[in-house]
Amino acid sequence: MKTIQGPAIFLAQFMGDTPPFNTLDGAAGWAAGLGFQGLQIPSWDARAIDLDKAAKSRAYCDDYRAKLEQHGLVPTELSTHLQGQLVAVHPAYDDLFDGFAPKGLRGKPKARTEWAVDQVKKCLTASKNLGLNAMATFSGALAWPYLYPWPQRPAGLVEQAFAELARRWKPILQHAEKCGVDCAFEIHPGEDLHDGVTFERFLEATGGHPRVQMLYDPSHFVLQQLDYLQYIDEYHDFIKVFHVKDAEFRPNGRSGVYGGYQPWADRPGRFRSLGDGQIDFTAIFTRLARYDYPGWAVLEWECAYKSGDVGAREGAEFIRRHIIPVAEKAFDDFAGSGVNQKMNKKVLGLA
């Protein structure tokens, strides 16, 4: 068994225009001061990384690693959540998702998609240059507006949507293979890959491409009322990135899974800071240890109530407590009688 690495933290929710979050050095010093050992980097945020330079220059990436090492940190993964989203956007969402793209591409969905594909490829190259083996991302969505079958979905609609999604991702996946970097798709409502069945659909549509892997975040399963522990049993071979994020689901007589268009604080399903929700992280860390999860435990802080500073400080300790230093030998080895085939036959009455 392997001991999970961590704690690490995703910087996307923290980078900003005020210190210490306006520079990588400032954010790294803050994270290290809280006890984090790794950073997951939002590749779209120029304050966190220059993606063009990282894709072109190993020297830049060596310097980048050295800068983090000064704080006792390493990069865990680069993220293309925003760019991956733009690989496939249903026209109903064009105006909303235009904000993820450069201003010159807004209102130009085809050009925006081409930019997004190029961005994800650059991030894969940058990941290779940084010595990383997985990239966190979103799949985008073409079928999501048709999630609930009313009116009845036209025959073949879902199959065509996943065929098109795979067509757009295949060139990226081929580049990922050249780079030796997995595309770890976050299984997330709003994406066409939002549960196990949809992940399997996409995997099949790509011909079982070996770079189609998974980012596991149990909070999204609580909000869908999906068994997040059995999910690990089903898909542990695909889990390459792990977001440690808590959630709760408290339905009532007025609102349930869909949330009634309410703000996060009022929804029955909502994200919480670590330890404030309902997720059984002891069971999750145990299962991941059992299945030799090879990566990092990365805090993604999202909470409708608690301050991010407090959530991050508490989260570092929470993850540290839950990481299981795996056993190097069985607890009952002291009572072992050794391997002896003759004895085994005798015990079984076969001698």
**Cα–chain center distance at 19:** 26
pLDDT at 337: 67
Long-range CB contact pairs, 201-205, < 8 A, 24+ = 201/158, 201/162, 202/139, 202/162, 202/165, 202/166, 202/169, 205/162, 205/163, 205/165, 205/166
Contact 56, 126 (CB under 8 A): no
CATH of residue 116: 3.20.20.150
Tell me the residue range of the domain where 170 lies: 5-347
Strands 38-42 and 212-216 turn out to be unpaired
Dihedral sign of CA atoms 274, 38, 228, 265 in order: positive
State how far the Cα of 165 lies from the Cα of 174, in Å rounded to an integer: 15
pLDDT at 333: 64
**Which secondary structure element, helix H or strand E, spans residue 244, and what is its range?**
strand 239-244
User: Is the pLDDT assigned to residue 225 strictly greater than 80?
Assistant: yes
pLDDT at 2: 87
User: Is the pLDDT assigned to residue 68 strictly greater than 80?
Assistant: yes
- Rounded to the nearest integer, the mean pLDDT of the chain is 96
Contact 7, 297 (CB under 8 A): yes
Structurally, the chain folds into a number of domains equal to 1
pLDDT in tens, 136-158: 999 999 999 999 999 999 999 99
pLDDT in tens, 303-326: 999 999 999 999 999 999 999 998
Of the pLDDT bands very low, low, confident and very high (cuts 50, 70, 90), residue 334 is: low
Q: Percent of the chain, pLDDT > 70?
A: 97
pLDDT at 342: 84
Position of tokens 């992280």? 281
pLDDT at 63: 98
pTM of the model: 0.95
User: Is the pLDDT assigned to residue 335 strictly greater than 70?
Assistant: no
pLDDT at 330: 66
pLDDT at 183: 99
**Residue 24: closest CA among 39, 3, 5, 8:** 39
**Which secondary structure element, helix H or strand E, spans residue 321, and what is its range?**
helix 308-322
Higher pLDDT, residue 282 or 326: 282
Omega of the bond leading into 218 within 30 degrees of 0 (cis):
no
Of the pLDDT bands very low, low, confident and very high (cuts 50, 70, 90), residue 328 is: confident
User: Is the pLDDT assigned to residue 75 strictly greater than 80?
Assistant: yes
Report, as an integer, the average pLDDT of 126-132: 98
**Residue 188: closest CA among 79, 296, 289, 114:** 79
pLDDT at 233: 98
pLDDT at 270: 97
Of the pLDDT bands very low, low, confident and very high (cuts 50, 70, 90), residue 347 is: confident
Of the pLDDT bands very low, low, confident and very high (cuts 50, 70, 90), residue 331 is: low
Crossing angle, helix 157-179 and helix 196-205, to 10 degrees?
A: 70
